[in-house]
Amino acid sequence: MSTTCVYPLEPEPAFRLAKLAGFDGLEIMVTNEPTTQDARILRELSEAYDLPVLSIHAPVLLLTHFVWGRDPEIKLQRTAELARDTGASTVVVHPPFRWQAGYATQFLDIVRRISTDSGVEIAVENMFPWRAAGKNLKAYSPGWDPRVMDCDAVTLDCSHAALSGVNSMDFVRDLGSRLRHIHLCDGSGPIGEGQIFDEHLLPGHGNEPVAEVLETLAARGWDGQIVAEINTRKAKSEAERLDLLRETVEFARRHTAAARAPQRPSAYATDSLRPGAAE
């Protein structure tokens, strides 16, 4: 489970809810909240709730502009260090904004160097075009689509795929072995067709072939991570939020169960999701 599922809650309640919902581990989104940046606290929470930190999302959102300074290369370096210090194997990063000109020019080289130096896999996430006055804007550089980038690892976000108008299965087919990380969510359609924001619907509640994505990857013996990144902010109570999180876990397990059946035929409901841990 990504901590963004319960934003703006802090990591401690995120760990607690993830445990109650039945996830196998967490992805920490680095934000302005100090505990998301503190390896010691995250390790203590991980031990207390018996849930590993499996991935770290770099502070690349506009609301985290000043986290760890303003240099995006230093932010990515610090994220990789946090991943290494918490035992996480993966860092998720967005492509640079177009106005980050110097960083954007060197982005792919920086990603590869920091990944090599830290021993942490850095997976570049697919984004989507921005629109204003009916026109697409070039918000990202070298672009929003990592399929055409020279990067070794990619994160597929199914809500972003919906917004971009690219079927998630196209990403799966085109990326091949470079697909290493999934943000499990859904979306109802592309920008310009009634959608103006990133929905992060529960999987199965939109129009993306999320079930097919999971089934295809599981059948391949894929060993990446499946991370729930859903929007639960409209939940009116903790119980309602837990229901949404549990539905997401069950969706992931159900659509990877066929591939897991020969290995663990009697433990579908409780064993860790393999291949690809349900976070």
The per-residue pLDDT string of the chain (279 residues; one tens digit each, 9 = 90 and over) reads 999 999 999 999 999 999 999 999 999 999 999 999 999 999 999 999 999 999 999 999 888 989 999 999 999 999 999 999 999 999 999 999 999 999 999 999 999 999 999 999 999 999 998 876 666 778 899 999 999 999 999 999 999 999 999 999 999 999 999 999 999 999 998 876 555 578 999 999 999 999 999 999 999 999 999 999 999 999 999 999 999 999 999 999 999 996 555 544 433 333 333 344 556
3-state secondary structure of 42: helix
Q: Which residues contact 70 (CB under 8 A, 6 or more apart)?
A: none
Q: How many Cβ atoms are within 10 Å of 271's Cβ, its own excluded?
A: 13
Distance CA 164, CA 128 (A): 5
Asked if residues 275 and 218 have their Cβ atoms less than 8 Å apart, the reply is: yes
Q: Please give the model's pTM, rounded to 2 decimal places.
A: 0.90
Query: Minimal CA–CA distance to 138: which of 104, 173, 180?
Result: 104
Distance between terminal CA atoms of the chain?
4
3-state secondary structure 221-258: CCCCEEEECCCCCCCCCHHHHHHHHHHHHHHHHHCCHH
Strands 135-137 and 130-132: antiparallel
Taken as a whole, the chain contains a residue count of 279
CA distance 75 to 67: 8
The two three-digit tokens of residue 37, written as one number: 């940046």
Separation of CA 239 from chain center? 24
The answer to whether 42 and 88 have CB atoms below 8 angstroms apart is: no
